[in-house]
Structure 1
Amino acid sequence: METADFEYIRDLCHQRAAIVLDLEKSYLIESRLQPLARTEGLGTIADLVAKMRTTGYGTLHGKVIEAMTTNETSFFRDLQPFEALKKVILPELIARRSLSRQLRIWCAACSTGQEPYTIAMLIEENFPQLAAWDVKILATDLSTQVLERARSGRFNQIEVNRGLPSPLVVKYFQRNGMQWELCERVRNKVEFRQLNLIDAWPAINTMDIVFIRNVLIYFDVQTKKDILGKVRNKLRCDGYLFLGGAESTFSLDDSFVRTEVEKASIYRLKGYDDPVLPTRAVKAASVRA
């Protein structure tokens, strides 16, 4: 791959999606963009870049950015966050929201939907009382292509095998040819929307729980700070933030304090004292992270 072409793709992805691509990632660009070049009727990545250079930002540029996003996900990924959600966090929030009977959960960078659907099934299985509440699960992603897949609720055998317990497959999925289709009742619990995390978030309401896992690692420091600052403004004062296992707010935003819940690291806004369940079985970390 020519250096000039690599730099064009790198700059495009950084400016439009804040994705950081180092020179050693050139192999990744080639593996992801060569199929796109063929689909577009172009012989090489050089031809693809040449076509983009001759036009203003448009559909083709968007397809390139989507191709360069990482869409790794699975059901019940890193099990501990979902154990924390089931055993501590949702029970606490149900107690606090007993008057409003309203819960708002947001999964950012949701990819093909396994994370929000995991939360929807977890609620269905463990909190039947929430059927009478106003519960909304919002799932967003940059890629319109993966959102289309997510809305369909269809997953192949490999995707179903990754983290999804067999009883839940039997209960909530139906075989449809070579794929498994999630039941409509669970699909309807999740609203999918397109959102670029580096843009403004005017349509995002205040949230009780925010999942933004395994995405900050792809951004530079300033972008991480900007995103965490926007999360802070969208999180209720007693809300919960979930990051990926390799991610942290440390040295990025000191408004958050890390708390350990069921062996999962959860982030809360600094200075909040729980007025409802002060003796809950959680251990606050001694340092911000």
Structure 2
Amino acid sequence: MKPEDFTLLANLVKDQSGLVLTQDKIYLLESRLLPVARSFSLKSLEELVQAIRMRHDSQISKAVVEAMTTNESLFFRDMKPFDQLKRVVLPRLMEKRQAGRRIRIWSAACSSGQEPYSIAMMLKEETALSAGWKFEIVATDLSIAMVERAKAGVYSQFEVQRGLPINYLVKYFKQDGDKWRIDAGLRENIQFRPYNLLHDLSPLGQFDVVFCRNVLIYFDQPTKGKVLEAIAKRMPADGILYLGGAETVLGISDRFQPVPGERGLYMLTDAATGATRPAPPEPPKPLPPFPARTVAR
């Protein structure tokens, strides 16, 4: 691949998704983008790059960005975050929200949906904890294809074997041929939407809990800071942020500080909120309509 072609593609991906591609990822570009080129009746990566340069085709650009995003996910990934949600986070929040009895949770970069479905299953199991409460789960991802997969809630045998307890498989899934389809009630409890973390987040409303795990590792420092700043503005003073085990806010943002004794949990700093009490919940603004997916032939 020509250096100038790599630069064009890398800049396109970074500008639209925040993902940073280095020269050692050329093999990844080639393996993932050749199928994209063929789907647009282009014979090579050179023709794909030329089409982007000449046509400024938003559909091609969008397909390139979606192909380069990482969509690794599994049910109850790492397990500890879900235990923390049940044991630490929800009890603290619910104590302060007795009047409204409503909690909003955001699964950012939800990929094919395993994380928000894991949250929904955990809440369903904890009837003593969740009885009489309204939990709103919003799940977003940059990739329209991944959002469509998540919304369908259909998984392979391999996918349901990764992290999902067998009793949950029996209780919340039905076998459909060689696939497993998640319970319709769980699907209805989650609002799936395509959304870019680099865009204005205000249309999503305010969230008491934000899962943004294993996302920042793909961004450069300025982009990490920008995303954390935007998330902080979507949270009340006592909101909780989840990051991945290899991620941190140290040296990136002063908007969050670690929750003492709880790895991977972050709360807003006093300097960030300027408040000693939780801010009143902000009604969510209407989300943009779910776009129809265009498939090039």
TM normalised by structure 1 equals: 0.90
Are 1:71 and 1:112, in contact at CA under 8 Å, matched by a contact in 2? yes
Partner of 1:267: 266
Stretches of structure 1 lacking an aligned partner (at least 5 in a row):
277-289
Partner of 2:186: 186
Q: Deviations over 1:117-152 (max 9, x none)?
A: 100000000135535322210011111010000000
**Equivalent residues in 2 for 1:102-121, closer than 5 Å:** 102-121=102-121
Q: Deviations over 1:58-101 (max 9, x none)?
A: 11110010001011111111111111111121122222211111
**Equivalent residues in 2 for 1:99-248, closer than 5 Å:** 99-128=99-128, 130-248=130-248
Structure 1 Cα separation of the partners of residues 202 and 267 of structure 2: 22
The answer as to 2:34 corresponding to 1:34 is yes
Give secondary structure in 2 for the equivalent of 1:210.
strand
Are 1:84 and 1:264, in contact at CA under 8 Å, matched by a contact in 2? no
Stretches of structure 2 lacking an aligned partner (at least 5 in a row):
279-297
Partner of 1:20: 20
Structure 2 Cα separation of the partners of residues 38 and 168 of structure 1: 40
Are 2:155 and 2:180, in contact at CA under 8 Å, matched by a contact in 1? yes
Are 2:142 and 2:195, in contact at CA under 8 Å, matched by a contact in 1? yes
Structure 2 Cα separation of the partners of residues 117 and 254 of structure 1: 31
Partner of 1:51: 51
Q: Deviations over 1:153-185 (max 9, x none)?
A: 001111101100000000000001111000001
**Equivalent residues in 2 for 1:72-91, closer than 5 Å:** 72-91=72-91
Structure 1 Cα separation of the partners of residues 199 and 63 of structure 2: 18
Letter in 2 for 1:268: M
Are 1:13 and 1:20, in contact at CA under 8 Å, matched by a contact in 2? yes
Once the 2 structures are TM-superposed, how far is the Cα of residue 54 of structure 1 from its aligned partner? 1.4
Q: 4+ residue stretches of structure 1 with deviation over 6 A?
A: 272-276
Letter in 2 for 1:269: L
Structure 2 Cα separation of the partners of residues 89 and 19 of structure 1: 30
Give secondary structure in 1 for the equivalent of 2:250.
coil
Give secondary structure in 1 for the equivalent of 2:90.
helix
TM normalised by structure 2 equals: 0.88
> What is the aligned-residue identity percentage?
41
Structure 2 Cα separation of the partners of residues 266 and 186 of structure 1: 25
Partner of 1:3: 3
- Alpha carbons of 1:84 and 1:255: their partners in 2 closer, same or farther (altered >3 Å)? same
Greater fraction of residues in strand: 1
Are 1:106 and 1:210, in contact at CA under 8 Å, matched by a contact in 2? yes
- Alpha carbons of 1:3 and 1:74: their partners in 2 closer, same or farther (altered >3 Å)? same
Letter in 1 for 2:230: K
Structure 1 Cα separation of the partners of residues 249 and 43 of structure 2: 44
Letter in 2 for 1:238: D
Are 2:51 and 2:57, in contact at CA under 8 Å, matched by a contact in 1? no
Report the aligned-residue RMSD: 1.8
Give secondary structure in 1 for the equivalent of 2:208.
strand
Once the 2 structures are TM-superposed, how far is the Cα of residue 21 of structure 1 from its aligned partner? 0.5
Give secondary structure in 2 for the equivalent of 1:264.
coil
Are 1:214 and 1:246, in contact at CA under 8 Å, matched by a contact in 2? yes
Structure 2 Cα separation of the partners of residues 83 and 212 of structure 1: 16
Partner of 1:97: 97
